Amino acid sequence: MRVISGELKGRRLTPVPGHSTRPTTDKVKESIFNIIGPYFDGGTVLDLFAGTGSLGIEALSRGMDRAVFIDQDPKALQIIRKNVESCGVENRVRIFRNDARRAISLLAKNQETFDLVFMDPPYHLDLIPKMISALSQQNLLEDTAIIVGEHSSARELPDRIEAFFRWKFVTYGDIAVSFYKKGSFPS
């Protein structure tokens, strides 16, 4: 696992030991960034269910200004800190141990807003629609925000959640990625 492109290109990232997380493969990560970017001119990224922090770190490498990482697994948080330090981006990140729903409430109290959100929750919990609704209802998303949700290809997500529509859907074997943004369905 590594940073694929940008200022941190080639940096190795440490995986979380054991089977408690499912890191996004380099192939899927590169595909995601080819779809949403591939580069950014500033902004803030939220890496919800962050695992190794790979997606948020990749976004920083490609031009995002700041990143917020949320995970509730202590082993994952240790790895996120290690990966952030090895990439030298500690001054651009905040890392929180929390349940995703509580974290969203706390971020709202701090009046945070995000330009890009990654979420890769445990597939069996079916949390992506709930998390998008919570982010939207708490006004945590910029009008131009993009939400990227990784889920099982066996699970079909809704085309619309709150004010967000799914504008892209791709599969890689058992893995599916749904991309959401605000607005109307394109004609």
Q: Express each pLDDT in 1-49 by its tens digit.
A: 899 999 999 999 999 887 666 678 888 999 999 999 899 999 999 999 9
Q: Is residue 147 part of a domain?
A: yes
Q: Is residue 12 part of a domain?
A: no
Q: Is residue 109 part of a domain?
A: yes
Q: Is residue 126 part of a domain?
A: yes
pLDDT at position 184 is 66
Considering its fold, how many domains does the chain have in total? 1
Side chain identity at residue 109, one-letter code = K
Q: Is residue 71 part of a domain?
A: yes
Q: How crowded is residue 99: how many other Cβ atoms within 10 Å of its Cβ?
A: 11
Side chain identity at residue 144, one-letter code = T
pLDDT tens digits for 89-130?
999 999 999 999 999 999 999 999 999 999 999 888 889 999
Q: Can you give the pTM of this predicted structure?
A: 0.94
Q: Is residue 7 part of a domain?
A: no
Q: Is residue 56 part of a domain?
A: yes
Q: Is the pLDDT of residue 163 over 90?
A: yes
Question: Domain with 169 in it: what CATH number?
Answer: 3.40.50.150
Structural domain for 41, as ranges: 26-182
In this prediction, residue 187 has a pLDDT band, given cuts at 50, 70 and 90, of: very low
Q: Is residue 5 part of a domain?
A: no
Instruction: Kindly give the pairing relationship between strand 141-152 and strand 44-48.
Output: unpaired
